[in-house]
Structure 1
């Protein structure tokens, strides 16, 4: 039995999607593929936002680290993808941001994919499980940072 049969009315859209849309498509629910695409769109928003650098100021306030005030990823200026230590820092930072701001995903793992042919582009593989109560569905997202626009484009693998 697949998940679309287990959830015949579909999966619920996010509150943000329900508030912004004027169409009634969100009333019928999402298929599993539409749910993956919804998560990919939200991840794209997250990765294309930069968080403020407030490390020392918020150390005493643990909930602030998970708040909208820290939405986004760190600015990677000064880090090199050629340096393994910097690559690990970038991947860990992205995984922490996803864990803090995307509650539909669990067990998040981010890997940087190196492409010798196109050194200007940054490719990431985001592996996680979508939390579909009472199940966890594995999902992989491909994230590509376009060098010309400095924007991430994220797609869910089928």
Structure 2
């Protein structure tokens, strides 16, 4: 039998109604876990932090709280600027490393978009910690500048 893993707390709370009614102990495949992580990354990237950890440096517990969940505001940044695109990708990397304990060795890179659209594409690579294994994962993230919304999917 292929390796299966316990779902995250959020997945347990969202639950599959059929499994819950049958009293089945949920076990997820690696692919289902990756899809769940992609969903969680998308939600994280579309959440705007109230404060940066630097703003709360004098309050270490608050700096690690939900007050810093998500990304800082990027609306003033230019998608055409290499420096600003690096700022955005660094912000994504820091948010994932700080706020998703399942991911290690997170790397985020801007992907060149060969289409004429104004979107900004990123490649996210990391190690997904699945006890007792670490699974390499890759996700594609797209920032739509008009709405400032991210879409994330498994690569």
Instruction: Report the TM range for the smaller structure's normalisation.
Output: 0.7 to 0.9
Moved over 4 A (4+): 54-57
How many Å apart are 1:71 and its aligned residue?
0.9
**Which stretch shows the higher mean deviation, 148-157 or 98-107?**
148-157
Structure 2 CA distance, aligned partners of 1:50 and 1:138?
27
TM-score, with length taken from structure 1: 0.84
* Unaligned stretches of 5+ residues in structure 1: none
Q: Which residue of 1 aligns with 2:8?
A: 14
Deviates more, 1:108-117 or 1:144-153: 144-153
The aligned counterpart of 1:105 is 103
Distance of 2:102 and 2:32 partners within structure 1: 14
Runs (5+) with no aligned partner, structure 2: none
How far apart are the structure 1 equivalents of 2:52 and 2:122? 26
Match of 1:144 in 2: 142
* Distance (whole Å) between structure 1 residues aligned to residue 143 and residue 54 of structure 2: 29
TM-score between both structures, scaled by the size of structure 2: 0.85
User: Structure 1 residues 149 and 27 mapped into 2: Cα distance closer, same or farther (>3 Å)?
Assistant: farther
1:72-101 CA deviation, whole Å, 9 max, x = no partner?
Answer: 111112212322222221111111111111
Q: Distance in 1 between matches of 2:59 and 2:41?
A: 25
Q: Superposition RMSD on alpha carbons, in Å?
A: 2.1
SS at match of 1:28: coil
**How far apart, CA to CA, are the structure 2 residues paired with 1:56 and 1:148?**
28
How many angstroms does 1:149 deviate by? 4.0
Aligned residues: 151
Which digits, 9 at most, give the CA deviation of each residue in 1:35-88, with x for residues without a partner? Answer: 000000000100111111355641112333332111111111221232222222
